[in-house]
Amino acid sequence: MKQVERIAVLRGGPSAEREVSLRSGAAVARALAALGHDVREVDPEPGRLALPPGTTAAFLALHGTYGEDGQVQAELEALGIPYTGCGVEASRLAFDKVLTRQACEAAGVPVARGHVLVRADEGWPEGWRPPVVLKPSRQGSSVGLQFVDDAGGWASALAEAFRHGSEVLMEERILGRETTVGILAGEALPVVEVRPRSGAYDYRNKYTPGATEYFCPADLPLAVTQAVQGAALGAFRAVGGRDYARVDVMVTGEGRPVVLEVNTLPGMTETSLLPKAAAAAGLDFGALCQRLLSMALERRRR
């Protein structure tokens, strides 16, 4: 007979991605309850984390600041509660796009040409030509993402990116096919291709129903699929990931993978990209949630 666990599903939180996190948490809670677990939903406050008495593990359905940057992980470790996903240091590193980029470069993982900006009034960098992408270094889920197709749009785009943080990563914009790779227990899941119906895969297209098409497994040659999965695994290992993550990868016209970022707590609704990839590998949503939970519980037993 399977042991019933008291699981705290952490969702909501203080970040710009709160609403998405609430949806992820609700889906996870339903799935775990259907599996027979005693599930309690918790909307955590930074520095004041309180879990229901008897909690045996925490399932993290948080996104963005506090949830994905190592803060809640450190609080859970101080409480002695096992939790799903990456540890403190890997979460901190992967949430910072500049540090992730540095870790990938050191490990030989392909990334786009980049430059770090620290002032909102900086002029167009010498030696660069558009198009480029501006990314707040410590935000998730396309928050503050800006595409600059000509130098005339530089000042307004830079100001908007700096509205979401004190450091901005500028990268060469890679034109090609946008893919994402779920990593589960050290293995790459089938590749998902993301195709916005118009424009780029920004926050609006990511969370507006019907705005983007998804194809899984992606229709790529086998060699390209393997290269994309290899780059994703390389990035996951470079940041010290464990259990699971989702790695976003552009594929150039020549079939070369370029890693964009590592998401250590990706969306967990039944239509999110990691569950789509898991389903293509034969793992339904409930089984995926149980697998993630089981890895955390195994750490407690060890």
What pLDDT score does 1 carry? 41
pLDDT digits (tens, 9 = 90+) for 117-130: 999 999 999 999 99
Q: Are 145 and 171 in contact (CB under 8 A)?
A: no
The contacts of residue 46 (CB under 8 Å, 6+ apart) are 13, 14, 66, 71, 72
Q: Would you place residue 231 in the very low, low, confident or very high pLDDT band (cuts 50, 70, 90)?
A: very high
**Residues labelled as active-site residues:** 17, 141, 207, 246, 248, 261, 263, 267
Domain boundaries, the chain: 6-84+284-294, 93-110+175-264, 114-172
Q: Measured between alpha carbons, how far is residue 99 from residues 86, 89, 103, 143, 265 in Å?
A: 16, 11, 6, 18, 17
Average pLDDT of the chain? 94
pLDDT digits (tens, 9 = 90+) for 39-58: 999 999 998 999 999 999 99
| Percent of the chain scoring above 70 in pLDDT | 95
Task: Determine the average pLDDT of the residues in 234-260.
Answer: 98
Closest CA to 127 of 172, 94, 160, 85: 172
Query: What is the pTM for the complete model shown?
Result: 0.93
CATH superfamily of the 93-110+175-264 domain:
ATP-grasp fold, B domain (3.30.470.20)
To the question of domain 114-172 being in CATH 3.30.1490.20, the answer is yes
Q: Measured between alpha carbons, how far is residue 105 from residues 157, 219, 245 in Å?
A: 26, 28, 19
Distance CA 173, CA 185 (A): 31
pLDDT digits (tens, 9 = 90+) for 167-226: 999 999 999 999 999 999 999 999 999 998 876 666 666 666 777 899 999 999 999 999
Distance CA 116, CA 98 (A): 7
Q: Would you place residue 142 in the very low, low, confident or very high pLDDT band (cuts 50, 70, 90)?
A: confident
Indicate the helix (H) or strand (E) that contains 74.
helix 71-79
Q: Would you place residue 143 in the very low, low, confident or very high pLDDT band (cuts 50, 70, 90)?
A: confident
Distance CA 282, CA 302 (A): 28
Query: What CATH number belongs to 6-84+284-294?
Result: 3.40.50.20
Indicate the DSSP class of residue 174: P
pLDDT-wise least confident of 89-93, 152-156, 162-166, 204-208? 204-208
